[in-house]
Amino acid sequence: MANVSIGGNVTDSVMVFGNDNYVVKIGDVNGGIVNIIKPSDKPKYSARTAPVTIKPRDFPSLIDREYEFEAIKKATQFSSPVSIWGQDGIGKTSFIRHLTHTLDTSNFTSGTIYLNASGLGYEDLLQALFDSFFDSGASYKPSTTEILRELQSIKALIFLDDLQIGRDEAASILNAAPNSLFIFSSIERSLWGEGEIVPLRGLPESEAFKLFEKELSRALNEQEKAAAAAICSVLQGNPLQILQAASLARDSGKPIEHLLNEVKNEREENRSMVYMGMANLSDSEKQILALLAAAGGNIVPLQHVTGILKSGKEQENLQKLIKLGLVQSHSPRYSINDALVSSITSAWEITSWQDVLLNYAINWLGQQPASALVEESSGLLIHTIKNAGERKKWREVIQLGRALEKFMILYKRWQTWSDILNLILTAAKALNDSQVQAWALHQLGSRALYLGYTSEAKTLLSQALNIRQVIGDKAGQALTQHNINTLNGIIAPLKGDASGCKKYVSWGCGTAVVMTAALTLAWLVFTFIIPQNITPTKIPTPSRTPSPTITPTSTPSPTNTPVPVLLYDFIDHADEAYWFNYTKNSDGEFENDLTFFFEPVSPDPETYMAKSENNYVGWEPNVTLMNGNIQKRVLLTYPYFDYFKVFGNYEKVSIDQSAPNGYLELQAGYKDIFIESTEGAVFRIYINDRLMLEEFYKFGDKPINTIKQVSIQKGVYQFRLEVESLDPSPYDYAVWAVVKLWDRNPR
């Protein structure tokens, strides 16, 4: 797998050097350029001097937590991982900070490190761990395989605060560094079946009262003591909420008894709004809270607050909000906690503030700000583009995403880079923008090439090439073809003008060794004998360009009995559809783009789903169904777990003849893999958003084998295949074996 390091001026382009003989340039308008380099140019990295120490400042004023501390102290003595968990504001970070300075670390020869894991997915978290223990010079970017190999020898005490990955990925983190001891902090429990589980709950009554009195900064009389104790009880000992209540009582001058009456009459989720109402906030102070809520609780540098609001009183207003406990200071940066974000979002209309933040982010990045400030703002920017995607602000998603991607490369957030590219791809499809769609596919394919994911790179680059050929993008086409040649080991300069990149590519090729006869032979084989290894046989149709007219696969027989004519084969054209999964939970309804796999992912789709906990769609040859029948090629659409629906939209399909007595033919069921019984699934076929065929399949039954009469006229259509799980099971191995549209009954 390719391992890469990054350098260069991020305001212009990013250079990526890989130790699997690749050199890459990111920054050209048409996408990244990949070349082959000499082995002597491979980058190097080295271990940092042990022990490595990365700690936050101590929190010596920690109240209570003696029992929890002793439990963790004992766990560290037995090298048992720890999961600290509790609701927002319960004091997890304060506790973690104190632990980093009080636990015995003498046995951890590699060191002790603390990482804020907020917003980091599994791959990006692995990269952060690698960077903690290894000096990679100019931002060296190793592969996941190399990271896992190097972390095997690390023996460290590792604190991961605000962990946001799933429990399976948390277990994978433990396996990544098996000689290290991890202490996780998260809102929900991270470990199951192993380790020490330490739930953080509210403070005891006496300790909660001490915290209230300390924040109030004065002694209480007997009547006030009773009211303060009652407030602490209503707030269930939550330290943050107690601090907010005491701050409000101190700075508003209102009687504590009045505060008690207000708090106990409100539901928990409304208390923050009660505090804000009692504080008599000004409009400008409310604007700051709305802006920070639109930022989703992410840290916002002061420069952005002042750049957006421009009242001249931002710092003064922020200080008041900090004293009230409504804003947290990370000087000179600010945030509000998740509970307050939820309260404000429910009570106020903040859509306009989300738009303000989105437009500001696009304009600000366009001014080429300092890289350090962009990194400081990365959580805010990533939240902003994801929120824009949820609100279907597709043009803004493309603008912000293209400005952000090179920074994610520079900061080694390559999992986030992939997420942004996929979001841009979804936006391009929604806008029918074939040029941007091809660019996103090119970038995803180039990224896969850097990391050594050969099959994925081949598929994505081929899709990009096909679209660029269709729309006549010669510069982009030359770039993508060049990267495909690099993938196949062919050293060749770009032909023609590719947006000024020809000079760069020629330089990259100049560093490579002279082509040998064997390489020439390889080029001939790839070019003339097996071109299918360069591009897949199916060409995904760009949204902007109608699909080619579909020619019937058989012609009428000269006999008196007409032979049925196949108008459309959904399985053969599955790679031309846009595939999505659909989820619905308490947070709302969500649709996410799915990658279509031309070949089964290695080692198999079932393992892929188990590891990624994601849906799957793609072709697979020689599949045995539940009744033992073997299908030469099927379409797999797995609605994994609570991602309970998978669907594909076939857009702008041309049918070149009318079929008033047409028929839909469906054969579908489950792949013959028995793990445990499930309720089954329902298969649906839509034509122009109208449900035309719906069949329920019960686990273990013989596959569905049905036809239904439909009337269809000559024209352009949108088709849709959809499979929905009937229960939240990971074992819905749904298979579309035959899905065909005929001009008459085929049986």
Which amino acid, 231? I
Residue 268: pLDDT band with limits 50, 70, 90: low
**pLDDT for res 64:** 84
Provide mean pLDDT across the span 602-616: 78
**pLDDT for res 429:** 94
**pLDDT for res 334:** 93
Residue 555: pLDDT band with limits 50, 70, 90: very low
pLDDT(211) > 80: yes
Pick the closest to residue 158 from 249, 234, 231, 76 (CA basis).
76
pLDDT digits (tens, 9 = 90+) for 692-705: 999 998 877 888 99
How many Cα atoms sit within 13 Å of 360 on the Cβ side? 22
Provide mean pLDDT across the span 713-741: 88
Q: Which residues pair with 23 in a beta bridge?
A: 17, 35
pLDDT digits (tens, 9 = 90+) for 405-426: 989 988 889 999 999 999 999 9
Residue 330: pLDDT band with limits 50, 70, 90: confident
Count CB neighbours of 66 within 10 A: 8
Q: What mean pLDDT value characterizes the chain?
A: 81
3-state secondary structure of 747: coil
746 touches 666 (CB < 8 A): no
More confident residue, 558 or 477: 477
Q: Exposed, middle or buried: residue 414 (CB in 10 Å: 0-12, 13-18, 19+)?
A: buried
477 touches 468 (CB < 8 A): yes
Residues 421-454: b if buried by 16+ CB within 10 A, e if exposed: bbbbbbbbbbbebbbbbbbbbbbbbbbbbbbbbe
In this prediction the pTM is: 0.63
314 touches 306 (CB < 8 A): yes
Residue written as token pair 């791809």: 425
Which residues touch 222 (CB under 8 Å, ≥6 apart)?
A: none
pLDDT digits (tens, 9 = 90+) for 95-112: 999 999 999 999 999 999
CA–CA distance, 361 with 202 (Å, rounded to integer): 38
Full set of structural domains in the chain with CATH:
46-199 (3.40.50.300), 205-349 (no CATH), 356-531 (1.25.40.10), 566-742 (2.60.120.260)
